[in-house]
Amino acid sequence: MAGIGFELKKMLRDESWMGLTKAYAYAGIIGSGPWVLSILGILLIGILYFSNQSADPELRKFIISVTYLMSTSLIFSGALQLVFTRFISDQIYSGHKEKILPNLLGALTVCSISAGLTGLTLAILLIKNDRTYALLMIASFILLCNMWILIIFVSGMKKYKTVLLSFFITYSFLIVASYFLKSWGANGLLIAFLISHSILMAILFYEIVKEFNSKSPLCFDFLKLKNIFPSLIFTGLFYNLGLWVDKWIFWFTPETSEAAGTFLRTSVIYDLPVFIAHLSIIPGMASFLLRVETDFVSHYQHYYTAVNKGGTLGEIRQQRANMSGSILKALWEIIKVQGVTLLLFILLVPQILKWLDISSLYSPLYIVLLFSTALLSLYLSILNIMFYFNLLRSALIMTAGLLVLNFILTTITIHMGPVFYGYGFLLSILIMTVFGLFALSAKTDRLEYLTFMMQH
């Protein structure tokens, strides 16, 4: 991520509005990640090629299918994502870059086999009549599970513009291919989805091979006990479950959902508002990258340089104070940026709902979800800083707490009636964000002690 920061600093040297806009756009796309871009791509398909989204059952089936694919693939691969990220970081730090590509191939092999077996089992149990649809769902599930693993390497590469270009090519192809394949219904749109994301994977894998070339064969060092951190396994799993559990509850509660063909269920009153609201996270993530990944990383490196190079206690404390100040500055800027974004989105709610042909009855729920997304940007920023300091226990509590609270509070608020829909997710994010702020403050206040204790 520091490499992204250096790239952003170059853009920020241009003090014009164009330079600032370019930096924020670049940071927003990188920081938001492919799942937000996927939402944009799918919405564009509906807006461009279907005059009335709700009236076309095939488009509806496609959007619901992709939603399930995104959710299940993130949850399924979540247990591996952080463990593998830690392994790659350790190899880069220790100068063993030649181990990265063989272990990547090993991780993709493990992921493909396990995802394939899981997808096949679910398809046999749940999809009875349409074999083509079943095969496309299995292939897309395997592809997405592997894609989340490949995205990890974005932080280890320096050709970020190439990565952004690959995203642009992918979703441009998806939109164009959907136009030609839409006559085949949901299966045609899934073919377009599968091919476009295969292109994304191919481009990313090509860049990874160029960056981390190795002559070593397939390797599974990342599975050795010494390289496995149980807390990271559960943190990755709980994180994705925590972000999706409210959606699943809405999907499978009879009062808030309906059948959408085969095994699929959808919540008409919740799905579209929550995904559109998630798009408002882009400015917050842009601010996070611009401030945390540029200013904070610099102070972070100075602090640990002072620790490792034998700096005096006074120098170490000064660097810690500078680093703590950069964290507060970054979090405050995220609050300001996301606050302005929240206000703008709330003011534009009537126009957004009208443009998307959504009933104005969605307005209260949409506003609640906008507040949730604003808090989510802060929650993600705190969680990321915790990983910098290796505060794995606090990160685990943050993600486990989100999962438990989101499950309990969403279940309770659903039974309280439509007026309270969305408040379960909002309260869960609020509680765990406040916990994260206090936990991070407590840890940074005694960082010198924690730093030296971890070395002995």
Closest by alpha carbon to 31, among 303, 260, 338, 246?
A: 338
In percent, how much of the chain has pLDDT > 90? 32
Sign of CA dihedral 52, 132, 142, 201: negative
Report the SS3 class of residue 417: coil
| Mean local confidence (pLDDT), 59-66 | 85
> Above 90 in pLDDT, residue 19?
no
Residue 66: what residue type?
V
Contact 55, 43 (CB under 8 A): no
258 pairs with which residues across the strands?
266
Rounded CA-CA distance 396/392 in Å is: 6
Q: What is the pLDDT of residue 437?
A: 93
pLDDT digit string, tens, across residues 365-386? 999 999 999 999 999 989 988 9
Query: Could you tell me the pLDDT band of residue 207, with boundaries at 50, 70 and 90?
Result: confident
Report the SS3 class of residue 258: strand
Name the residue with higher pLDDT: 305 or 414.
414
Other C-beta atoms closer than 10 Å to the C-beta of 25 total 14
Phi-psi region of 33 (alpha: psi -120 to 50; beta: other; left: phi over 0): left
Residue 45: what residue type?
I
Other C-beta atoms closer than 10 Å to the C-beta of 442 total 10
Contact 349, 367 (CB under 8 A): yes
> Beta-strand (E) ranges in 32-173?
none
Report the SS3 class of residue 56: coil
In percent, how much of the chain has pLDDT > 70? 83
Closest by alpha carbon to 160, among 383, 6, 286?
A: 6
Q: What is the pLDDT of residue 353?
A: 82
pLDDT digit string, tens, across residues 268-297? 888 888 888 888 888 888 787 777 767 787
> Above 70 in pLDDT, residue 42?
no
Rounded CA-CA distance 231/213 in Å is: 30
pLDDT digit string, tens, across residues 232-245? 999 999 999 999 99
Rounded CA-CA distance 113/77 in Å is: 12
Q: What is the pLDDT of residue 369?
A: 93
Rounded CA-CA distance 331/377 in Å is: 10
Degrees to nearest 5, angle at CA 31 with 86 and 6: 80
